[in-house]
Amino acid sequence: MQNLIDAKLLMKVFSKVEQQGVAVDTTFGKGFELDGMTIASGFDGYDLYFVADEVTVTLGFHQKYHIDAKDEEHIDRFIQRLKRIEAK
């Protein structure tokens, strides 16, 4: 498993999903969805949320992130989805 996610990759994907995605309501508030990736930002703009493949990643201040996932396989699929979206 590639256990490190590049914070720059997360920010690039967030921007792409925000620009090209469809507006949706999430558990974190208003957000966007593109190709199975749902994103939202915290009320203060400091936290970014990514949800896909049964994984939730929270990117916070100073590019620190927290991964909530059941297992490594889900994380691997999540990372592959990030890379596919970035490559579009």
pLDDT attached to residue 63: 83
* pTM score: 0.91
Q: What is the mean pLDDT of residues 71-76?
A: 94
pLDDT in tens, 8-19: 999 999 999 999
pLDDT in tens, 1-59: 445 788 999 999 999 999 999 999 999 999 999 999 999 998 887 899 999 999 999 99
Rounded CA separation 52/49 (Å) = 10
What are the structural domain ranges in the chain? 7-87
CATH number listed for the domain at residues 7-87:
3.30.1120
Residue environment code for 51-84, b if the CB has 16+ CB neighbours within 10 A, otherwise e: bbbebbbbbeeeeebeeebeeeebbbbbbebbee
